[in-house]
Amino acid sequence: AQRVTQPEKLLSVFKGAPVELKCNYSYSGSPELFWYVQYSRQRLQLLLRHISRESIKGFTADLNKGETSFHLKKPFAQEEDSAMYYCALSGPLTYKYIFGTGTRLKVLA
Amino acid sequence: NAGVTQTPKFQVLKTGQSMTLQCAQDMNHNSMYWYRQDPGMGLRLIYYSASEGTTDKGEVPNGYNVSRLNKREFSLRLESAAPSQTSVYFCASSEGQLSGANVLTFGAGSRLTVL
């Protein structure tokens, strides 16, 4: 069964500290992994996707098929990074799109 | 561009009442989705429509019905609302291509309270 697990409900870090939001998944086949972000009073929006291998707002995520993980990382957190982050999974042969339970990131001054 | 538009933004219902949440997208997307967002449970897929004329159940379809009225519109109906359906509902759409990594575009959300 498809499943996305985000073990941390809340992650608090100080400004300038490194950040890692964990995401593990379960999927039979080759998944497509995404990170979405919801800033306060804004719509849920795409942050990055593994297929693009991009860095957005200093965030990166590497797909580790052996550990079935797609952790989101940033070397130096900023206060504006405070938001709700969702890891999501889809697949090349399905339209189904599954989200994890989300991690709220709080960056403290 | 409006993107994905949901109505209403807020609604209060009594148990047993019915209502329909409307969603429309103007991006010529093929696939549309309905999610509910609850504290501690994240986003859960209620129903989705891969393309016009098709609908499929997601993770939590019980108590809901959907209609893909045309390519632009995808409505979610609660026939007999229950307090457990108190939630924030999000509509989303994507290009819906099997060959690529589809990005979801979300609406602003509809906050529903069932008393």
For chain B, residues with pLDDT lower than 70 are 1, 98-101
Residue B98: its pLDDT value, please?
Answer: 66
The Cα–Cα gap between B8 and B23 comes to 9
Residue B13: its pLDDT value, please?
Answer: 96
Confidence of residue A62 (pLDDT cuts 50, 70, 90): confident
Give the A:B interface size as CB pairs under 8 Å: 66
Q: What is the pLDDT of residues B59-77, one digit of tens each?
A: 999 999 999 989 999 999 9
Mean pLDDT of A69-94: 92
The Cα–Cα gap between B33 and A42 comes to 19
Facing residue for A99 by CB, picked from B31, B43, B108: B43
Burial readout B56-85 (b: 16 or more C-beta within 10 A, e: otherwise): eebbbbeebebebeebbbbbbebeebeeeb
Confidence of residue A53 (pLDDT cuts 50, 70, 90): confident
User: Residue B39: which residues within 8 A CB-CB, separation 6 or more?
Assistant: none
The Cα–Cα gap between A94 and B100 comes to 11
Looking at residue B102, what DSSP letter applies?
P
Contact B38, B91 (CB under 8 A): no
In terms of C-beta density within 10 A (0-12 exposed, 13-18 middle, 19 or more buried), how is residue A65 classed?
exposed
Residue A13 pLDDT greater than 70, yes or no: yes
- In A37-56, the residues whose Cβ lies within 8 Å of chain B are 43-46, 49-52
CB-CB neighbors (< 8 A) of A88 in chain B = 104
Residue A91: its pLDDT value, please?
Answer: 78
The kind and range of the H/E element at B111 are strand B110-114
Minimal CA separation from B31 to chain A, in Å: 8
Residue A109: its pLDDT value, please?
Answer: 92
Beta bridge partners of B104: none
Mean pLDDT of A82-94: 88
Mean pLDDT taken over chain A:
92
Q: What percent of chain A has pLDDT over 90?
A: 70
Mean pLDDT of A2-15: 95
